[in-house]
Amino acid sequence: MPELPEVESLAADLRERAVGRVIDRADIAEFSVLKTYDPPLTALHGAVLRDVSRHGKFLDLITAPEGPATGSALHLITHLARAGWLRWREDMPDQPGRPGKGPLAFRLRFADGAGFDLTEAGTRKRLSVYLVTDPAAVPGIAALGPDPLAPEFTAEVLGGLLAGRRTQIKGVLRDQKIIAGIGNAYSDEVLHAARMSPFRLASSLSADDVAALHDVIVTTLRDAVERSAGLGASELKKEKKAGLAVHGKAGQKCPVCGDVIREVSFADSALQYCATCQTGGKPLADRRLSRLLK
Ligand SMILES: [Zn+2]
């Protein structure tokens, strides 16, 4: 799943490639992806892409009518969900793409023939697209917590977010309403770098723990953004995987201490961690008793 660093890089890549281009058409190929109906997607026809930005894991394409920027801006916003991706093409087909066939969810074509597809692998369709005049009209954006790369996100702010929360730090870091943009992968990475158990209660962190965790959150995300800077959408996934220390690497060696990376499975996801680095050598309880845990 693309998280803050990947969405940040997608935004930078699109800004570089596409700002100033005129939109020819935008079409959904999968009916369930479009979450808004007013204005309709046809309102984008002839609009110019003015900028691309990010809210948490949401990508925001800011458009305005062609000519002097007098008309109101329209925001084409997408959340790629777990299995969504963006594919840029210099030469798009003229056809909008047939509904209900394959991974294509949405297609945008610029007047010069370039454009991008939003695709989603798998059968559970979660990718979403919104066309709004104000990003805050998207419920997931209106509810977002502070952005960890914003200058306002200080250790004090993080301390305030964690104080009194008697829930596991892993879940807190992933909760978009508390902090925007961190998902399953980067919460594993942050906790590994912070040498902190994913099951630790957020409310139990001392001021020093909070300061150290804040530092690790910012550094981990910044490093990931820097690693993927200048990479096109097609190379981002590979780079993300290569840059991770523990996430998705159960059974491999911890790059810090050499212990085996373990995992805890849940109904819908799994977390990975290093017992030596994070839990004083004690494996966390995993009801599924992963075969990697022997
Ligand atoms: Zn380790």
Residue 287 has pLDDT above 70, yes or no: no
* 276 CA to centre of ligand 1 in angstroms: 5
How open is the CA angle 277-278-283, to the nearest 5 degrees? 100
d(CA 292, CA 294): 6
* 208 CA to centre of ligand 1 in angstroms: 21
Q: What pTM, to 2 d.p., does this model score? A: 0.92
* 215 CA to centre of ligand 1 in angstroms: 19
Residue 158, classed as helix, strand or coil, is helix
* 269 CA to centre of ligand 1 in angstroms: 21
Q: Identify the pLDDT of residue 71.
A: 67
67-95 pLDDT tens trace? 765 668 999 999 999 889 999 999 998 87
Q: Identify the pLDDT of residue 100.
A: 67
185-203 pLDDT tens trace? 999 999 999 999 999 999 9
- Report which of residues 102 and 7 the model is more confident about: 7
* 260 CA to centre of ligand 1 in angstroms: 8
Structure tokens at 91: 């030469």
d(CA 28, CA 96): 8
- Report which of residues 167 and 98 the model is more confident about: 167
48-60 pLDDT tens trace? 999 999 999 999 9
* 66 CA to centre of ligand 1 in angstroms: 54
Does residue 61 contact residue 77 with C-beta atoms inside 8 Å? yes
Q: Identify the pLDDT of residue 294.
A: 46
* 190 CA to centre of ligand 1 in angstroms: 13
* 192 CA to centre of ligand 1 in angstroms: 8
* 258 CA to centre of ligand 1 in angstroms: 6
* 186 CA to centre of ligand 1 in angstroms: 16
Which of 202, 206, 169 minimizes the C-alpha distance to 188? 169
* 227 CA to centre of ligand 1 in angstroms: 22
Q: What percent of the chain has pLDDT over 90?
A: 78
* 116 CA to centre of ligand 1 in angstroms: 40
152-177 pLDDT tens trace? 999 999 999 999 999 999 999 999 99
d(CA 236, CA 248): 16
Which of 264, 253, 261, 228 minimizes the C-alpha distance to 243? 228
190-245 pLDDT tens trace? 999 999 999 999 999 999 999 999 999 999 999 999 988 877 777 887 887 888 99
Residue 288 has pLDDT above 70, yes or no: no
Residue 289 has pLDDT above 80, yes or no: no
d(CA 39, CA 262): 48
d(CA 7, CA 192): 22
Question: Euclidean distance between the first and final Cα of the chain, in Å?
Answer: 29
* 199 CA to centre of ligand 1 in angstroms: 16
* 189 CA to centre of ligand 1 in angstroms: 12
* 261 CA to centre of ligand 1 in angstroms: 7
140-161 average pLDDT score: 98
* 166 CA to centre of ligand 1 in angstroms: 26
* 157 CA to centre of ligand 1 in angstroms: 29
